[in-house]
Structures are given as C-alpha cells and as structure tokens.
Amino acid sequence: MTTPTSRRFALLKAIARQRHRYSLLRAVSQTFSLAVLAVVPLTGLARVDFWGGEHRLLFHPAPFKHALGGVVIGIGAMYVVTFLSNVAAGRLFCGWGCPVGQISRFGDAVDVPGQSLLHRALQHVKGAAFSGAFILSMLAWWTDLRVLVMGNAIALGLAWGSLACGVIAAYLHGRWWRWEFCKSLCPIGLYYSFVAPARYFGVHFRNQHETCIECNGCDNVCPVNLTPRDLMKPVTDRVGVSIADAPGHNHCLECGDCIKVCEFMVGKKGLSPIPLKLGHFAGPQRITPSSPASPVDASESPLPTR
Ligand code: SF4
Ligand code: SF4
C-alpha cells in the first residue's frame, strides 16, 4: 500500500539520481550559513567565554558586558537580515540557509530506499558531521573551544556534555522529527510565516494549460504538505505553533523540491516550459487548476500518484 511517506520517498529516490543545480546552490548556501555562525565567535568579532573569561569584541579582549552586547548585536543583525529576506522572498532562509532544515534533509537522505548499506552509512556520517559542525559553531559563541582539550575535569565534562547533547538532539531531530518541526513547531518559522508575504519571489505555477501533466509529484514531495500549484490556497492542517488559514505561500520553505520533481516528471515527457517556477514573480501568481492539455496516463507514470 502506498502512503504519503512512501510516495514522497519514491520521488526523493528518483530525483536523488539527478545532477541538479539546486544541489550545488544548497551546498553553497548552507556552507555560507554555517560559516557566518562560526566566523563571528572564532575570529573574536563577538564572543563571551564562560570557561576562561577571554571575552572578545571586535577582535580584541573585552569586558564581559561589552562582549555580551556584541553577541546580542550579532544575533540581532542576523535577525534583521532574515527579516529583510522574509519580506522580499518568504521563508527562503528555511529552505536554503537553516541548518536545522538541512539536518532534516540529511535525515531524508538516509531513508531514501534502494541504497546500499555503505551509501546509507555515508549519509549517516554526513548528517552527524554537519550536526557536529552546527553545534560546535553555536558553542563557540559562549566559550573558547580550546576548553574541549585544555579544560579541567569539570570544564571538559560540561563542554563535551553540551556538545554531545546538542549533536544527539540534532541527530534525533534528523531521524524522527524533521519537517514536522519546520511545519508546526519552529518558533522562528512561525514568525517567518507571519512576515512572509512572498510577493516578489517564490514558487509559482505559470503555464498549467500547456505542460502540467497532473502527476501530483509536486504535492507528494513537498516536505510540509503544501500544494505548490496553488500556494494562494489557505492552509488548514497546521497544528502547534503555526498560523492557521494563512496561504500556502506563507508556509512555503522555498526549498525547491517541488521544482526538481516537476522538472523530472515533465522533462521525462520532453515537454517545456516547466510549469512550476521558483523565482521572481512575473505574471499571474496563481492559476486555478483546470483541465490540462495532456494529462498523464497513470499507468505510464514511473511513480505512484495520490
Ligand atoms: S511548495 Fe515547493 S518549495 Fe515550497 S515547501 Fe513545498 S516543496 Fe518546498
Ligand atoms: S507536472 Fe509539475 S506542476 Fe504539474 S502536477 Fe506534476 S509536478 Fe506538479
């Protein structure tokens, strides 16, 4: 029996074999995101040090209060950047820059069916390594990381204990929670949804009458259960910390998975242009689905449909 989860993983398996421009783009954006998180404390731009008291501000030793002020300003600056990106482009950061979302993606990669044991183990290692880098970057804001080697017994225990708890929590998130967190529990995501008009940039459906084969691949692959062909439709299935009845655009992570699937499905038919687009809005943002020119024959589809 096919379930929404098995349909989604069948699609993830199909697109996992693709070389796609988004893979490189995401690697760059996630590396940049982690680098910003790490560079601020590691260079001494702003960091407090609860271990050795070597607080830093603007690359120089500083009193605790000043360094803490720098840390708060650094976090505030990130808030401003993400706020502006949300106003212009919706939850783009969720799909491309959020390390927690990336950990969910590594979790998905482990569960894509049909992999060899070795390949699956490699996905585990990649997810764990990324989680470790993320938690270490967070830790670096609050302590000199040399504590992990040079601390006394108590400091070593506290530092390694914090690191281990963080990595285990991140790993467990990637194994079990994943996108449910982005969908219904992330407090930052809630705020992003609230300020995400996505008027200038986002996913939109541009030429359904010409090339949409109604395969439902975009619906099936969406990690947060949206209908990418009609993101103006109010979303009513959110629970937890989420905005009820806001349009799909507000909840869309701009992750591009629906675009990849759409390109895969439509490309197999040799049709163009691709009905779904992630980019600047030019033209109608919403077209109500109606009879397509050439609906796919379900028996021809390589993937299960809803
Ligand atoms: S609608 Fe598309 S871009 Fe938005 S969250 Fe779903 S799969 Fe990602
Ligand atoms: S062709 Fe593209 S837009 Fe149409 S249902 Fe399939 S994936 Fe969605």
Alpha helix ranges (H) inside 141-256: 147-150, 153-172, 179-184, 187-194, 208-211, 217-221, 248-251
Of 196, 190, 192, give the one whose Cα is nearest residue 89.
196
Atom of ligand 2 nearest to the CA of 229: 3
Average pLDDT over residues 64-75: 95
Our mutation pick for probing the ligand 1 site, out of 7, 203, 237, 265, counting the most ligand atoms within 8 A of Cβ, is 203
In angstroms, the first-to-last Cα distance of the chain is 12
> Is the overall model pTM greater than 0.75, yes or no?
yes
CA–CA gap between residue 81 and residue 194 (Å, rounded): 16
Q: What is the pLDDT of residues 4-34, one digit of tens each?
A: 888 999 999 988 878 899 999 999 999 999 9
Average pLDDT over residues 231-246: 77
CA 231 and chain centroid, separation = 18
pLDDT band at 294 (very low <50, low <70, confident <90, very high): very low
Structure tokens at 73: 């300003």
Is there an atom of ligand 1 within 6 Å of 89 CB?
A: no
- Distance in Å, CA 177 to ligand 1 centroid: 18
pLDDT band at 242 (very low <50, low <70, confident <90, very high): low
Q: Which ligand is the nearest neighbour of the Cα of 224?
A: 1
What are the sequence ranges of the domains in the chain? 4-191, 202-300
